[in-house]
């Protein structure tokens, strides 16, 4: 899978969670937010555009509750 950017890669991992595993997506999302490689807005925008928002939304809410 080509890498286009951190946010898009995270969204694509969630889209292909059945092949790659949900834990890979969760760890990537958590680390990218923690290290400030992406903003929640970037991930949200791409998730909506790529049709993965319903999958990512609960995890995003849980990880950004303090932000």
Q: What is the pLDDT of residue 4?
A: 82
Domain count, the chain: 1
pTM above 0.85, yes or no: yes
CA 49 from chain centre, in angstroms, equals 13
The answer to whether position 1 is within a domain reads: no
pLDDT tens track for 30-64: 999 999 999 999 999 999 999 999 999 999 999 99
The answer to whether position 40 is within a domain reads: yes
The answer to whether position 16 is within a domain reads: yes
Sequence length of the chain is 67
The answer to whether position 10 is within a domain reads: yes
In this predicted model, which residue has the larger pLDDT, 65 or 27? 27
- Tell me if 7 sits within 8 A of 38, measured CB to CB: yes
Find the domain containing 46 and state its range. 6-63
What would the mean pLDDT of 14-20 be, rounded to a whole number? 95
**Is it the case that residue 1 has pLDDT exceeding 90?**
no
């Amino acid at each position: 899978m080509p890498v286009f950017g951190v946010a898009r890669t995270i969204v694509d991992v969630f889209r292909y969670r059945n092949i790659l595993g949900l834990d890979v997506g969760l760890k990537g999302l958590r680390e990218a937010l923690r290290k400030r490689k992406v903003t929640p807005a970037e991930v949200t925008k791409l998730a909506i555009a790529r049709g993965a928002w319903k999958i990512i939304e609960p995890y995003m809410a849980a990880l950004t509750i303090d932000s």
